[in-house]
Amino acid sequence: MSFIIPFIRLFFPVYGLVVLSFEEGRRHHKHNQFIIILFALLIAKEVIHKLMLDAFGVKIYFTNFIILYYLINFIPVIYINYLLILFISKAQKPPVMFFIYTLLILLSMVFFLITGQPFTFLIQIISRFLMILLMVYIMFRLNTLYLEDEMNIIIKNRLSINTILTILSIQYVFFFVTDNFVKNLIEIVLYGLLAIIIYTRVDEGYDELKNNIQHLGYEKEIFINLLQKVGSGLTSETNFDKILELILNYSVDVIKSKAAALLLVSPDKQYLSAKFVHGLYPPTEKVEGYAATKEKFLVEKFKNEKIAIGRTYLGEVAQKGEAILIEDAHENTNILQTAPDLMDIHSLIVVPLKFKDEVIGVVSFLNKDAGGEFNKYELQLSQTLAEQAAITLNNFRLYNELLVKQRDEREIEIAGDIQKDLLPKQLPQIPGVDLFAYNKSAKGVGGDYYDLLNFDNKRLSVIISDVAGKGVPASLVMVMLRTTLHNILRPHLPPKDILTYLNKFLSTESTQERYATLFYILLDVEKQTITYTNAGQCPLLLYKSQDNTFDLLDTPGLPLGIMRDQKYEQAERGMQKGDIILLYTDGITEAMNTKREQFSIERVKDIIRTNKEKSAQDIVSIIQSKMDEFCTGAPQHDDQTLILLRLV
């Protein structure tokens, strides 16, 4: 029997090691690499333990190798606890008792080194007691986390983790009555299990998601601030330059860089030149002599530079249209230190300002204010800001044009342009689904938004939304909605959580008037199901091929951005080949003819029933032409959006 025991003891560490080492995508993760080392340590410990016992016998082994024994025994335990606390609870730092516990373990080792005696029973009791407190703390955080967020996305295995922690705690209570060997065995098995649960069964991409969420919280503030600033800027300052300056200053506040510059592409698209500069931004060409020692001259030189597109790091970004993050500029030959005495370029981010695919300028941030290197989150943030800034600038330009040419026939075209920037440029292709979307803006800068995201060709997210109000503020809400969605959408997240989350984002006083209705469906092509949730948008129209009838699918809940603690619900529905899903905004059903009659859902149903065998594109264009025919002579007074999906 005795030869089996090492196998049992080694099972979980080995299993964990194998799973983490060989599963693609997990191996490269920083924390998982640690865990792999820890598992290897646990295994090594067992092997050493066995070899030592065989070679020296119990007594000599424990007196001579106890430090080694403790190190390999406790480091993994401490580390797994540390990760648990940080990952599961939302705490930034472990609680004090964790440090006291770690300190006690170290103390006991020092104590042993000095006195040659193992640590006292009292210290053992205290450290075990702290361990139990720690477990309880983790469980408590785990539970409150759920209550706070209602986001089911963090960990699905809360129950199993809680169970293991409870067993561990109980086990600690009885440590002095149980046999050392049994205790060790339980401990290793349970920790192995815990680590495996955390690292293999926790929702995929948890880390990334958590960072994104933390980050988005921050980005949200930025959106709202920019919204307010640009909003107030628009009423008092109708000046393009002012808006640019405002954006740069605001970006510097957010990114916290020592220097920054906003450069625009010249009208002939040949070179870049600085429009606004913040701090000491050194020129891209070497400066000699007296000028090199004066801040004023350096900045002046930079402002006067005409940087050819494609030349220097700035010109390259303008040419390629892709952002760069340089953590250490000293190791990069592209970055010329032109004024090393006054401004040593250490770390930098350069992001392009793009309208659609055209680069209109770049924004560059030099050196972190607090020292150190820029990281990928700051890069992501800069990109978000640049995207936001470019859309704002574009909207502003178009809006101004709109104001000037209010009765001009280009009006519809201009309004459409703004929205089209945000709408998908092409529809996703996904096997088994035939889909088509249609969108037409009413006069004015409109409020409909839709999006389709294909995950792994098996699952498809479909979003249709109508932002209240019009004009630039409404389109900024749309930008915010879109960016947030693109950041948090994952196919395994329950749709209702996505809505709950979006709602929290949009629920601030400054945007309350600009609420948005939104319908979200997640289509699983393999399982042939849809999971759907609605925030005040028109219900989904489902055509069932089996009995040639229609269902209107809906869930309760106010539009997004009205009540912060609104809870959304979701429902699931099976589908069959030939079934048709139609999402639409009220601009479709409420389209009016000259007699002020509405087009209505009944007309849409009739069209679908007669044309159910046709392609999605055909059905959509039939609806479109029937609607146009119906409305002849009457003005379109709301945006119209249609998304039609057929299972084929």
Partner 1 sequence: MEIKSVEKNGIIILDIEGEIDLYNAPRLKEVIKKNVETQKYNIIINLAKVSYIDSSGIGALISSLSNLKKYQGGLKLVKVMGSVKKVFELTKLTSFFEIFEEEEIAIKSFI
A 10 A CB-CB count for 528 gives 15
Cα distance between residue 637 and residue 635, in whole Å:
6
DSSP 103-125: HHHHHHHHHHHHHSSPPPHHHHH
- Name which of 490 and 514 has its Cβ closer to partner 1: 514
Nearer to partner 1 (CB atom), residue 352 or residue 557: 557
Cα–Cα distance for residue pair 103/96, rounded to 1 Å: 11
Return the number of other C-beta atoms located less than 10 Å from residue 546's C-beta: 9
d(CA 228, CA 247): 12
Q: Which is nearer to partner 1, 512 or 610 (CB)?
A: 512
Q: Compute the least distance from the CB of residue 12 to partner 1, in Å.
A: 50
- Is 367 or 537 the residue whose CB approaches partner 1 more closely? 537
- Nearer of residues 495 and 559 to partner 1, judged by Cβ: 559
110: how many CB neighbours lie within 10 A of its CB?
11
User: Closest separation between CB of residue 195 and partner 1, Å?
Assistant: 45
In 3D space, the residue among 548, 545, 543, 501 whose CA is nearest the CA of residue 520 turns out to be 501
CA 226-230-231 angle, to 5 degrees, is 110
- Between 558 and 622, name the residue whose CB sits nearer to partner 1: 558
Q: Which helix H or strand E contains 135, and what residues bound it?
A: helix 121-149
CB of 550 to partner 1, least distance (A): 17
Residue whose CB is less far from partner 1, 207 or 586 = 586
Q: Which is nearer to partner 1, 516 or 523 (CB)?
A: 516
Residue 310 Cβ vs partner 1, minimum distance, rounded to whole Å: 46
CB closer to partner 1 out of 392 and 517 = 517
Torsion of CA 192, 78, 2, 7, to 10 degrees: 30
Beta carbons of 345 and 367 less than 8 angstroms apart: yes
Task: Give the chain's radius of gyration (CA, Å).
Answer: 31
Please, are residues 570 and 495 in contact by the beta-carbon 8 Å criterion?
yes
Residues paired with 553 in a beta bridge: 540
Instruction: Specify whether the CB–CB gap between 623 and 607 falls below 8 A.
Output: yes
CB of 232 to partner 1, least distance (A): 15
Three-state DSSP class for 409? coil
Taking the complex as a whole, the smallest distance from the CB of residue 631 to partner 1 amounts, in Å, to: 16
Q: Give 250 or 515: the residue with its C-beta nearer to partner 1.
A: 515
- The secondary structure element, H or E, covering residue 435 is strand 433-440
The gap between the terminal CA atoms of the chain, to the nearest Å, is 60
Q: Shortest gap between Cβ of 536 and partner 1 (angstroms)? A: 4
CB of residue 471 to partner 1, shortest distance in Å: 8
* Least Cβ distance, residue 234 to partner 1 (angstroms): 15
Enumerate binding residues for partner 1 (CB under 8 A). Answer: 444, 447, 466-470, 509, 512-515, 517, 536, 538, 556-559, 562-563, 586, 590, 638
User: DSSP label at 428?
Assistant: P
User: Least distance from C-beta 558 to partner 1, angstroms?
Assistant: 6
Write a three-state SS string for 172-198. Answer: HHCCCCCCHHHHHHHHHHHHHHHHHHH
Name the minimum Å distance from CB 517 to partner 1. 6
CA distances from 121 to 71, 128, 385 (A): 19, 10, 58
The residue (of 94 and 536) whose beta carbon lies closer to partner 1 is: 536
